[in-house]
Chain A
Amino acid sequence: MSNSLMIVDDSATMRKIIMRTIRMSGLEMDSTEEAGNGKEALEKLSSSPVDIILCDINMPEMNGMELVKKVRELSNCNDTKIIMVSTESSQELIDELMAGGANGYITKPFTPEKFQDKLSPFMN
C-alpha cells in the first residue's frame, strides 16, 4: 500500500511549508503533487488520482469549496480523502465543507502534531 498526496494552495510558500510540516510530523508520503488552484488540481486529478488532498479554501480560478464538489464527481477519486487547510475557521463553513464531501479540517497556523492527528487515520 502506498500514500500519494496532492497539496492545493495558491501560495507556493504555503505549499512548501505544508510539505515541511508533513516531513516534521513523521508521516511518510510516497509521492507529492502540487497545484496552485482548484482548476489545476482537477486537471491533474482526472488523469492521476491521489489518496489524500490537502486543500486551501481561498484561491483564484477555482476555490476549495468548488474543488471539493468537483472531486466528489470524479469516479476515479471515490476513495480520495480531502483535508481542508485554511485560515478560515468558522464552524459554519467547516460544516458546509464536510457536508460537501471534505473529510477533515486543519486551520492555519498549524503544527506538525496537527497534521499527524488529522492525517494518520487516512494513511494506508
Chain B
Amino acid sequence: METEQFNDVLLESAKEVFETMIFMELAKADEPFDPKDDDSLLGTITFTGDMDGCLAIGCTVDCAKNVAANMLGMDPDEQVSSADVNDAMGEVANMVMGSVKSRIQEQYTNIQVSIPSVVSGRKLENSLGEKARRTALAINIEGDFTAELSILYRMHETATQAGLANKEVSVNAADPSTN
C-alpha cells in the first residue's frame, strides 16, 4: 500500500474513533506535531501477518489527559490518573488499528493485532529497522491540540504484489487523485 493511501485510511479511521467513541472532533492539521520539550505519550499497537508493523498515536500529556477525560465522561476539572491516561491512549491506538484493519481487509486479509502499550517521555518516535516504511499524519483534536498518527510497516513480498494487483479495490477509491 502506498503511504498516501495509508494516510487517508489513518485519517478516516481516527475520525471514526474520535467522533463515535470519544466525542471529540478530529481533522487533518496544517502544521506538523511538535511537542517541543513537553512531556508526551505514544500509544502503540503492533501487528503481524501480510504486513508487519506498528501503529502509533503521539501527543502531549496535556492532550492525552483531555482525551482520557472525554472517553471516561469526566468533568474537565476532575483529575485523571496517569493509569487512566495510559489505558485510554492504548485503547485509542487499539480502536484506530481496528478501524484501519477493517478498511484494508480486502487487500490484507491476514493481520493479527497485539495488545496496546503506551510509553511516555520526550521526543518519542518508533522505529522498525531496515526496509520499514513510515507514514505519519498530523491531526488536530477539537481545535485545541495537535497530535500525530503514524504507521511503520514492512510489507511481505506476496502481500506487496497482491496489494498492487488490487489497487482498484483500495479504500480510497472515492478519491481518484491518490490512485
Q: Residue of A at shortest CB range from B88? A: A13
In the bound complex, CA of A59 to CA of B94 (Å): 11
User: How many residues from B make CB contacts under 8 Å with A?
Assistant: 26
Beta-carbon contact of A109 and B21 below 8 Å: yes
Partner of B102, one of A59, A60, A89: A89
Q: Per-position contact with A for B94-115: 1 when CB-CB < 8 Å, else 0?
A: 1101110110010001000111
Interface residues of A in 3-47 (CB under 8 A from B): 10-14, 16-17, 20
Beta-carbon contact of A108 and B84 below 8 Å: no
Q: How far is the CB of B117 from chain A (nearest CB, A)?
A: 11
Most chain-B CB neighbours within 10 Å: which of A12, A13, A88, A89? A13
Asked whether B138 is an interface residue with its Cβ less than 8 Å from the other chain, the reply is no
Beta-carbon contact of B98 and A108 below 8 Å: yes
A122 CB contacts on chain B under 8 angstroms: none
Interface SS majority for chain A? loop
Q: Residue of B at shortest CB range from A21? A: B21
Interface residues of A in 37-77 (CB under 8 A from B): 58-60
Asked whether B73 is an interface residue with its Cβ less than 8 Å from the other chain, the reply is yes
Beta-carbon contact of B105 and A89 below 8 Å: yes
Residues of B within 8 A of A (CB): 16-17, 20-21, 68, 71-73, 83-84, 87-88, 90-91, 94-95, 97-99, 101-102, 105, 109, 113-115
Given A58-B94, A60-B115, 19 extra CB contacts under 8 A: A11-B87, A11-B91, A12-B83, A13-B71, A13-B88, A17-B21, A86-B98, A87-B113, A89-B101, A89-B105, A90-B105, A90-B109, A107-B98, A108-B94, A108-B98, A109-B16, A109-B17, A109-B21, A111-B20
